[in-house]
Amino acid sequence: MGCRTRSFLSTKQEIALGKEGARQIEAEYRVDTSSADAERVRRIGMKLLPHVDQRDVPYSFKVLESNEVNAVALPGGPLYVFRGLLDMTDSTDDDALACIIGHEMGHINGRHAARQISSQLLTGILIYMGVPGSTNQELARLASGLITLKYSREDELDADRRGLSYAHYAGYDPHGLIRFFSKLERMERRVGGEKNEWLRTHPLNRSEEHTSELQS
């Protein structure tokens, strides 16, 4: 296993980066803050929160009006679930959604995005806060790529383990995630086309392995 880059961003810097990323996302997508789905996402997120490792950041849980089957978390706490993903989950079964939100919280707690940003900074970019010469433009540039950030296999595995653990200890059934992936796979077999990003980065057999680990 390769050496993992250490994040040298402070919590304050991660929060600032996440706020700028959230500002950019919410300028591009319409945010649902008042529907039953929006309340459901907030409720599940808050129920998971006592079981996470990093609690010193201002978590937020919001729904984006986009048909994309996706969810994304930013450094410092902002977390978004896309409408397309909500439409794929059973509104009467919170287990899968809790595992998905938990996975994204796992990225925040694992500081996965922060380490990648640190890697960019180590190549010669100034730390964007608290260092003379760094600018708001640099902060905006760093934040602009957060929504399309690709995590390593190691980071995805780490987020899987964390997220399923959060869901389990919050009282949700980790098998809900397996049911969701099975549904997604059946749908994609019917419609064909390119494999969904969630299925590429979260293969069903790996989710089953993590669920078994929790029960052992």
Residues annotated as catalytic are 104
Name residue 163's amino acid.
Answer: G
Number of CB atoms found within 10 A of residue 79's CB:
21
Q: Which candidate, 33, 38, 173, places its Cα nearest to that of 94?
A: 173
Q: What are phi and psi of 59, to 5 degrees?
A: -60, 145
Q: What are phi and psi of 110, to 5 degrees?
A: -80, -5
Q: Six-digit token pair at 122?
A: 């180590």
How far apart (Å, rounded) are the C-alpha atoms in residues 198 and 170?
A: 23
How far apart (Å, rounded) are the C-alpha atoms in residues 88 and 27?
A: 25
